Amino acid sequence: MDLGAGLIAIAAALTISISTIAPAIAQGNTATKALEGIARQPEAAGDIRTSMILALAFMEALTIYGLLIAFMLLGKF
């Protein structure tokens, strides 16, 4: 394996690790804040839950984009 292939492998590893760690932290914070909001205002649980699920879906999309980029990098091997 030459230097270029090694750098591509490192770039793919960094891409997938960063693109999964950051949204995971954000999803944890989002769920925490949503549950706190529901605990404070139970009558708004439906609206909070809907907004939380939408936000979680967008965060998960960022993770999938990172996975796609990692696969594209690995395809250059």
pLDDT of residue 50: 96
Cβ neighbors of 72 (< 8 A, separation 6 or more) are none
Label residue 59 exposed, middle or buried (CB < 10 Å: 0-12, 13-18, 19+).
middle
Rounded CA gap, 29 and 25, in Å?
A: 6
Q: What is the CATH number of domain 3-74?
A: 1.20.20.10
3-state secondary structure of 7: helix
pTM of the predicted structure, to 2 decimals: 0.76
pLDDT of residue 6: 87
Rounded CA gap, 5 and 34, in Å?
A: 43
